[in-house]
Structure 1
Amino acid sequence: MAQDNLQTDGLTAKISYYRWPIGIVLFFIALAIFNAFLAYLAYSGRRDRVVENPYEVGLKYEETIRSKALWNSLGLRLESSFGSPDESGLRTVNLVITPENRELDLPSSLLIEIERPSDARYDRSSRLTLMGDGVFQGSLDMPLDGLWKMTVRIKFAEQEAVFQEQVLLQD
């Protein structure tokens, strides 16, 4: 019994003697793991692009602003609903667009673009068809739940109206 107590005291003495060196080594191991995690986050998401022609990017941005302003000036309201995914990851998408002006004719189809903010691999676009009375329906490959950025593009005559919204999908 006394022998066991001596072995335990010897182990505690060694741990207390090497406490600071062990703590320092563990700190640097934790720091290396944290740096590896930060590097993984930095390189796994979307890549930055070097723009060769910034003037065209500026014109595109102005066009986007005009498209959003057209959506607002037409008084369009959007309600979206997404069904549960089937085995292949396809979800049924229903968009209800109601114009303030009831005489406004909606086109027979519109373009919807879905982006995953954290991962460009899941970016998709699809054309939804008009089912009647402002209801557009189609299917999109959205296998994951979470936050998605939805962009709806609808053409009226020569102009394009754009609506952007963030959608949180949960099943």
Structure 2
Amino acid sequence: METTTEDGTRKRGFRLEPWPTAIVLFFTVVFVVNAIFVRLSLDSWTGVVTDKAYDKGLAYNQVLKAQQEQDAMGWRVTLDDGALKVGSEAPLLLTVLDRQGSPLVGANVEGTLVRPVQQGYDRDFVMKEIAPGRYKTGLMVPLSGVWELRVRVSGTGGEYRLARRIQVSASVQGG
């Protein structure tokens, strides 16, 4: 838009050019949408939770050595988690046999039920010996999905660690 001034010169008025305006609007929309997505992702993140991941990575050779020592003990540990259901307490059974196949009596057995994708649902437990080499506890699982059972058995001759991923389904009502 042009206007003429008193001295006869033409003065050009402010005018938005379509292409530069379109480019600025395009990048503004991209920036706003990305900001919204970043905000939503930070509010809803439920990724894997690992404390001190860097330190655990540095200690990996020690983990391998501990696994070799555990394998050399020759213990056989069997975990029965088949009865676990959401919302009701169910038994968790563990059988521990030594190298000769004899029951490991008087061991200290404790563990943790870990929700690997969500904080705040982990459950610690202690298992009691119900028969020679057989240990039991009751566990109530609050949510269905994937869980990790981590059990530590301390007895004469060493320590055994067991970690197992399990899938827990919802309890079936009425039948």
TM over 0.5: yes
AA matched with 2:40: F
**2:135 aligns to what?**
136
**1:11 aligns to what?**
none
1:38 aligns with one of 36, 41, 44: 41
**2:101 aligns to what?**
102
User: Any gaps of 5 or more consecutive residues in structure 1?
Assistant: 1-19
AA matched with 2:80: S
**2:162 aligns to what?**
163
Q: Does 1:84 align with 2:85?
A: yes
CA displacement at 1:155 relative to structure 2: 1.0
AA matched with 2:84: G
**2:14 aligns to what?**
none
CA displacement at 1:48 relative to structure 2: 5.5
8 Å Cα contact 1:96/1:134 also seen in 2: yes
Residue 119 to residue 27, structure 1, CA distance change in 2 (3 Å): same
Of residues 39-48 and 119-128 in structure 1, the stretch that sits farther from structure 2 once superposed is 39-48
- Structure showing greater radius of gyration is 2
Specify the SS of the correspondent of 1:118: coil
What is the alpha-carbon distance in structure 2 between the residues aligned to residue 159 and residue 99 of structure 1? 11
User: Any gaps of 5 or more consecutive residues in structure 2?
Assistant: 1-21, 171-175
What is the alpha-carbon distance in structure 2 between the residues aligned to residue 61 and residue 107 of structure 1? 31
8 Å Cα contact 2:96/2:104 also seen in 1: no
Cα deviations across residues 10-67 of structure 1 (Å, max 9, x unaligned)? xxxxxxxxxx9xxx7987776454323321244886376598xx6xx84x972x5454
Q: What is the 5 A alignment of 1:103-118? A: 103=102, 105-118=104-117
8 Å Cα contact 1:107/1:154 also seen in 2: no
AA matched with 2:76: L
Residue 157 to residue 47, structure 1, CA distance change in 2 (3 Å): closer
Residue 138 to residue 152, structure 1, CA distance change in 2 (3 Å): same
8 Å Cα contact 2:152/2:160 also seen in 1: yes
What is the alpha-carbon distance in structure 2 between the residues aligned to residue 113 and residue 61 of structure 1? 24
Cα deviations across residues 80-113 of structure 1 (Å, max 9, x unaligned)? 2143344xx5442222344552235343441121
Residue 91 to residue 67, structure 1, CA distance change in 2 (3 Å): farther
Residues matched between the structures, number: 143
**2:67 aligns to what?**
68
AA matched with 1:80: D
Residue 145 to residue 97, structure 1, CA distance change in 2 (3 Å): farther
CA-based RMSD: 3.8
Relative to its length, the structure with more helix (as a share) is 1
TM-score (norm 2): 0.59
Identity %: 14
